[in-house]
Amino acid sequence: MLANFFGKSNPVNFIVVFLVFLGYYIANFFIVNPIQFFDINVILNQLLTVILFLFLFLFYNFILIKNKLTLSNSYGLLLFALFFGFYPAAFLNVSTIFLNLLLLIFLRRVFSLRSNKEVYKKIFDCGFWLGILFLFDSTTVIFGMLIFLSVGMFQKLTVRTLLIPVIGFVTPVFCYFSYCLWEGDTSEFSNLFLWYSNYNFEVYTANKFLFSTLFLGIISLISIFIKTPKVFLISGDYRKYWILIIFNFFLAITVFLIQNTHQTNKILLLFFPASIIITNWLESIERVFVKNIFIIVLIATPVILFIGYP
Protein backbone atom coordinates (compact mmCIF):
# COMPACT_ATOMS: atom_id res chain seq x y z
CA MET A 1 0.00 0.00 0.00
CA LEU A 2 2.34 2.74 1.25
CA ALA A 3 5.33 1.12 -0.45
CA ASN A 4 3.52 1.09 -3.78
CA PHE A 5 2.35 4.69 -3.44
CA PHE A 6 5.73 6.12 -2.45
CA GLY A 7 7.42 3.77 -4.90
CA LYS A 8 6.51 6.27 -7.60
CA SER A 9 7.93 9.70 -8.31
CA ASN A 10 5.43 12.30 -9.47
CA PRO A 11 4.04 15.70 -8.38
CA VAL A 12 1.25 14.06 -6.35
CA ASN A 13 3.82 12.21 -4.23
CA PHE A 14 5.73 15.44 -3.66
CA ILE A 15 2.55 17.22 -2.51
CA VAL A 16 1.62 14.35 -0.14
CA VAL A 17 5.12 14.24 1.36
CA PHE A 18 5.17 18.00 1.87
CA LEU A 19 1.74 17.83 3.52
CA VAL A 20 3.11 15.18 5.90
CA PHE A 21 5.95 17.56 6.68
CA LEU A 22 3.50 20.44 7.24
CA GLY A 23 1.59 18.23 9.67
CA TYR A 24 4.73 17.79 11.78
CA TYR A 25 5.58 21.48 11.41
CA ILE A 26 2.17 22.76 12.55
CA ALA A 27 1.99 20.25 15.42
CA ASN A 28 5.43 21.33 16.63
CA PHE A 29 4.47 25.00 16.39
CA PHE A 30 1.36 24.48 18.53
CA ILE A 31 3.46 22.73 21.16
CA VAL A 32 6.22 25.37 21.25
CA ASN A 33 4.15 28.55 20.69
CA PRO A 34 0.47 27.76 21.41
CA ILE A 35 -0.45 31.33 22.40
CA GLN A 36 1.30 33.16 19.53
CA PHE A 37 -0.45 31.24 16.73
CA PHE A 38 -2.96 34.04 16.08
CA ASP A 39 -0.38 36.83 16.03
CA ILE A 40 -0.26 38.19 12.45
CA ASN A 41 3.50 38.83 12.59
CA VAL A 42 4.12 35.29 13.79
CA ILE A 43 1.90 33.89 11.03
CA LEU A 44 3.78 35.86 8.34
CA ASN A 45 7.11 34.76 9.77
CA GLN A 46 6.03 31.11 9.79
CA LEU A 47 4.71 31.43 6.23
CA LEU A 48 8.11 32.66 5.05
CA THR A 49 9.74 29.77 6.90
CA VAL A 50 7.43 27.28 5.18
CA ILE A 51 8.32 28.81 1.79
CA LEU A 52 12.01 28.37 2.65
CA PHE A 53 11.30 24.74 3.52
CA LEU A 54 9.48 24.33 0.19
CA PHE A 55 12.60 25.49 -1.66
CA LEU A 56 14.65 23.09 0.46
CA PHE A 57 12.42 20.15 -0.50
CA LEU A 58 12.29 21.12 -4.16
CA PHE A 59 16.07 21.38 -4.38
CA TYR A 60 16.54 18.12 -2.51
CA ASN A 61 14.20 16.37 -4.93
CA PHE A 62 15.97 17.99 -7.89
CA ILE A 63 19.37 16.65 -6.77
CA LEU A 64 18.00 13.13 -6.36
CA ILE A 65 16.33 13.11 -9.78
CA LYS A 66 19.11 14.89 -11.66
CA ASN A 67 21.89 12.65 -10.35
CA LYS A 68 19.82 9.45 -9.99
CA LEU A 69 21.01 8.95 -6.41
CA THR A 70 17.99 6.70 -5.86
CA LEU A 71 15.60 4.85 -8.13
CA SER A 72 12.52 6.61 -9.48
CA ASN A 73 10.53 6.76 -6.24
CA SER A 74 9.66 9.09 -3.38
CA TYR A 75 11.25 7.13 -0.54
CA GLY A 76 14.15 9.57 -0.18
CA LEU A 77 11.86 12.60 -0.14
CA LEU A 78 9.61 10.91 2.41
CA LEU A 79 12.53 10.06 4.69
CA PHE A 80 13.85 13.61 4.39
CA ALA A 81 10.46 14.92 5.56
CA LEU A 82 10.09 12.35 8.36
CA PHE A 83 13.50 13.23 9.81
CA PHE A 84 12.07 16.62 10.77
CA GLY A 85 9.48 14.77 12.81
CA PHE A 86 12.26 12.92 14.61
CA TYR A 87 14.06 16.19 15.34
CA PRO A 88 11.53 19.01 15.99
CA ALA A 89 14.42 21.34 16.93
CA ALA A 90 15.28 21.46 13.21
CA PHE A 91 12.09 23.49 12.67
CA LEU A 92 13.11 26.27 15.00
CA ASN A 93 16.29 27.76 13.57
CA VAL A 94 15.84 29.51 10.21
CA SER A 95 19.59 30.15 9.85
CA THR A 96 20.28 26.39 10.06
CA ILE A 97 17.61 25.72 7.43
CA PHE A 98 19.19 28.33 5.16
CA LEU A 99 22.63 26.84 5.84
CA ASN A 100 21.34 23.42 4.78
CA LEU A 101 19.92 24.92 1.57
CA LEU A 102 23.35 26.38 0.80
CA LEU A 103 24.89 22.98 1.54
CA LEU A 104 22.54 21.34 -0.97
CA ILE A 105 23.55 23.92 -3.61
CA PHE A 106 27.19 23.10 -2.89
CA LEU A 107 26.54 19.34 -3.09
CA ARG A 108 24.66 19.80 -6.36
CA ARG A 109 27.83 21.26 -7.90
CA VAL A 110 29.96 18.48 -6.40
CA PHE A 111 27.77 15.77 -7.92
CA SER A 112 27.63 17.58 -11.27
CA LEU A 113 31.36 16.95 -11.78
CA ARG A 114 30.55 13.57 -13.31
CA SER A 115 29.75 15.46 -16.53
CA ASN A 116 32.63 16.71 -18.69
CA LYS A 117 30.73 19.85 -19.61
CA GLU A 118 32.26 23.10 -18.26
CA VAL A 119 34.35 21.18 -15.74
CA TYR A 120 36.52 24.07 -14.60
CA LYS A 121 33.49 26.32 -14.07
CA LYS A 122 31.85 23.63 -11.94
CA ILE A 123 35.00 23.15 -9.87
CA PHE A 124 35.19 26.91 -9.33
CA ASP A 125 31.51 26.95 -8.30
CA CYS A 126 32.20 24.19 -5.77
CA GLY A 127 34.90 26.27 -4.15
CA PHE A 128 32.78 29.42 -4.32
CA TRP A 129 29.78 27.85 -2.57
CA LEU A 130 32.10 26.27 -0.01
CA GLY A 131 33.39 29.79 0.69
CA ILE A 132 29.82 31.02 1.20
CA LEU A 133 29.17 28.10 3.58
CA PHE A 134 32.38 28.94 5.45
CA LEU A 135 31.17 32.50 6.05
CA PHE A 136 27.93 31.20 7.57
CA ASP A 137 29.53 28.38 9.57
CA SER A 138 33.31 28.02 9.42
CA THR A 139 33.29 24.33 10.39
CA THR A 140 31.52 23.46 7.11
CA VAL A 141 34.85 23.97 5.32
CA ILE A 142 35.40 20.29 6.12
CA PHE A 143 32.95 19.48 3.30
CA GLY A 144 35.65 20.75 0.95
CA MET A 145 37.11 17.24 1.00
CA LEU A 146 34.15 16.20 -1.17
CA ILE A 147 35.35 18.51 -3.95
CA PHE A 148 38.72 16.80 -4.31
CA LEU A 149 37.18 13.37 -3.86
CA SER A 150 34.66 14.09 -6.63
CA VAL A 151 37.33 15.54 -8.93
CA GLY A 152 39.54 12.50 -8.31
CA MET A 153 36.76 10.05 -9.15
CA PHE A 154 35.00 11.79 -12.05
CA GLN A 155 37.81 13.90 -13.53
CA LYS A 156 41.59 14.11 -13.02
CA LEU A 157 43.57 15.57 -10.16
CA THR A 158 45.95 18.10 -11.71
CA VAL A 159 47.54 21.30 -10.51
CA ARG A 160 44.74 23.25 -12.20
CA THR A 161 41.89 21.20 -10.72
CA LEU A 162 43.50 21.50 -7.29
CA LEU A 163 43.96 25.27 -7.48
CA ILE A 164 40.63 26.27 -9.04
CA PRO A 165 38.44 25.30 -6.01
CA VAL A 166 40.89 27.12 -3.74
CA ILE A 167 40.50 30.27 -5.85
CA GLY A 168 36.73 29.82 -5.81
CA PHE A 169 36.78 29.46 -2.04
CA VAL A 170 39.00 32.50 -1.48
CA THR A 171 36.82 34.77 -3.67
CA PRO A 172 33.83 35.26 -1.30
CA VAL A 173 36.07 35.01 1.76
CA PHE A 174 38.32 37.80 0.45
CA CYS A 175 35.26 39.93 -0.41
CA TYR A 176 34.01 39.55 3.16
CA PHE A 177 37.47 40.39 4.52
CA SER A 178 37.56 43.52 2.36
CA TYR A 179 34.15 44.55 3.70
CA CYS A 180 35.27 44.03 7.31
CA LEU A 181 38.47 45.98 6.61
CA TRP A 182 36.46 48.81 5.08
CA GLU A 183 34.22 48.90 8.16
CA GLY A 184 37.30 48.93 10.38
CA ASP A 185 36.35 45.79 12.30
CA THR A 186 38.05 42.53 11.33
CA SER A 187 37.31 40.73 14.59
CA GLU A 188 34.31 38.84 13.16
CA PHE A 189 36.40 37.72 10.20
CA SER A 190 39.19 36.56 12.53
CA ASN A 191 36.67 34.60 14.60
CA LEU A 192 35.96 32.40 11.57
CA PHE A 193 39.40 30.86 12.05
CA LEU A 194 39.13 30.39 15.82
CA TRP A 195 37.98 26.80 16.05
CA TYR A 196 37.32 25.32 19.42
CA SER A 197 34.89 22.58 20.24
CA ASN A 198 32.73 22.42 23.31
CA TYR A 199 32.91 18.83 24.48
CA ASN A 200 29.89 19.12 26.74
CA PHE A 201 27.44 16.79 24.97
CA GLU A 202 24.79 16.92 27.68
CA VAL A 203 22.31 18.56 25.29
CA TYR A 204 22.30 15.34 23.22
CA THR A 205 21.30 13.10 26.13
CA ALA A 206 17.67 14.28 26.21
CA ASN A 207 15.38 11.26 25.84
CA LYS A 208 13.74 12.36 22.57
CA PHE A 209 16.98 13.35 20.84
CA LEU A 210 18.90 10.33 22.09
CA PHE A 211 16.21 7.88 20.99
CA SER A 212 15.89 9.46 17.54
CA THR A 213 19.64 9.47 17.02
CA LEU A 214 20.10 5.86 18.11
CA PHE A 215 17.13 4.73 16.00
CA LEU A 216 18.19 6.48 12.79
CA GLY A 217 21.89 5.94 13.42
CA ILE A 218 21.45 2.18 13.69
CA ILE A 219 19.30 2.08 10.54
CA SER A 220 21.86 4.17 8.64
CA LEU A 221 24.75 1.92 9.67
CA ILE A 222 22.77 -1.22 8.81
CA SER A 223 22.00 0.30 5.40
CA ILE A 224 25.68 1.07 4.81
CA PHE A 225 26.87 -2.42 5.78
CA ILE A 226 24.19 -4.19 3.73
CA LYS A 227 24.28 -1.99 0.64
CA THR A 228 28.00 -1.18 0.26
CA PRO A 229 29.19 -4.71 -0.74
CA LYS A 230 26.48 -4.84 -3.40
CA VAL A 231 27.35 -1.37 -4.69
CA PHE A 232 31.02 -2.23 -5.13
CA LEU A 233 30.02 -5.08 -7.42
CA ILE A 234 28.62 -2.44 -9.79
CA SER A 235 30.89 -0.33 -11.94
CA GLY A 236 30.13 3.19 -13.13
CA ASP A 237 28.90 6.43 -11.61
CA TYR A 238 26.57 4.78 -9.09
CA ARG A 239 29.49 3.35 -7.12
CA LYS A 240 31.23 6.74 -7.16
CA TYR A 241 28.08 8.48 -5.99
CA TRP A 242 27.76 5.99 -3.15
CA ILE A 243 31.31 6.73 -2.00
CA LEU A 244 30.54 10.48 -2.05
CA ILE A 245 27.35 9.96 -0.04
CA ILE A 246 29.15 7.85 2.59
CA PHE A 247 31.89 10.48 2.93
CA ASN A 248 29.23 13.18 3.10
CA PHE A 249 27.52 11.29 5.92
CA PHE A 250 30.63 10.98 8.08
CA LEU A 251 31.81 14.53 7.33
CA ALA A 252 28.38 15.81 8.42
CA ILE A 253 28.76 13.89 11.68
CA THR A 254 32.18 15.50 12.17
CA VAL A 255 30.82 19.01 11.55
CA PHE A 256 27.95 18.29 13.92
CA LEU A 257 30.28 17.19 16.74
CA ILE A 258 32.88 19.97 16.51
CA GLN A 259 30.48 22.87 16.96
CA ASN A 260 31.60 25.71 19.18
CA THR A 261 28.16 25.79 20.77
CA HIS A 262 26.31 22.51 20.51
CA GLN A 263 22.85 22.92 19.00
CA THR A 264 20.63 19.97 18.24
CA ASN A 265 19.17 21.68 15.15
CA LYS A 266 22.51 21.19 13.37
CA ILE A 267 21.50 17.52 13.00
CA LEU A 268 19.80 18.83 9.87
CA LEU A 269 23.17 18.56 8.09
CA LEU A 270 22.86 14.76 8.19
CA PHE A 271 19.38 14.57 6.69
CA PHE A 272 20.56 14.56 3.06
CA PRO A 273 23.12 11.73 3.18
CA ALA A 274 21.18 9.66 5.75
CA SER A 275 17.96 9.76 3.73
CA ILE A 276 19.76 8.62 0.56
CA ILE A 277 21.64 5.85 2.37
CA ILE A 278 18.49 4.44 3.99
CA THR A 279 16.50 4.80 0.75
CA ASN A 280 19.04 2.72 -1.17
CA TRP A 281 18.68 -0.04 1.40
CA LEU A 282 14.88 0.27 1.40
CA GLU A 283 14.84 -0.11 -2.38
CA SER A 284 16.74 -3.39 -2.11
CA ILE A 285 14.07 -4.98 0.14
CA GLU A 286 12.09 -7.34 -2.08
CA ARG A 287 9.11 -8.03 0.18
CA VAL A 288 6.54 -5.24 -0.12
CA PHE A 289 5.09 -6.21 3.27
CA VAL A 290 8.42 -5.47 4.98
CA LYS A 291 8.65 -2.11 3.20
CA ASN A 292 5.16 -1.19 4.35
CA ILE A 293 5.96 -2.06 7.98
CA PHE A 294 9.19 -0.06 7.82
CA ILE A 295 7.45 3.02 6.37
CA ILE A 296 4.61 2.80 8.91
CA VAL A 297 7.12 2.64 11.77
CA LEU A 298 8.98 5.67 10.40
CA ILE A 299 5.76 7.68 10.07
CA ALA A 300 4.39 6.64 13.48
CA THR A 301 7.57 7.11 15.53
CA PRO A 302 7.64 10.96 15.34
CA VAL A 303 3.96 11.01 16.34
CA ILE A 304 4.74 8.85 19.36
CA LEU A 305 7.66 11.12 20.24
CA PHE A 306 5.41 14.18 20.03
CA ILE A 307 2.86 12.61 22.37
CA GLY A 308 5.30 10.92 24.74
CA TYR A 309 7.84 13.76 24.96
CA PRO A 310 6.05 17.07 24.29
Provide φ and ψ at 88, rounded to 5°.
-60, -25
Please name the residues in contact with 151: beta carbons below 8 A apart, sequence gap of 6 or more.
Answer: 113, 123, 157, 161, 162, 165
Q: What per-residue confidence (pLDDT) applies to 246?
A: 95
Residue 34: the pLDDT is 58
Helix, strand, coil % in the chain, rounded to nearest 5: 80, 0, 20
Q: How much is the pLDDT for 143?
A: 94
- In the prediction, which pLDDT does 285 show? 86
Task: Give this prediction's pTM.
Answer: 0.91
What are the pLDDT digits (tens) for 9-57?
888 989 999 998 888 888 777 776 655 556 677 778 888 888 999 999 9
- Which phi and psi angles does 173 have, rounded to 5°? -65, -45
CA 27 → CA 24, 34, 38, distances in Å?
5, 10, 15
Point out the residues of the chain with pLDDT beneath 50.
none
- Confidence (pLDDT) at 251: 94
Residue 206: predicted pLDDT:
63
pLDDT of residue 244: 94
Cα–Cα distance, 165 to 147 (Å, whole number): 8
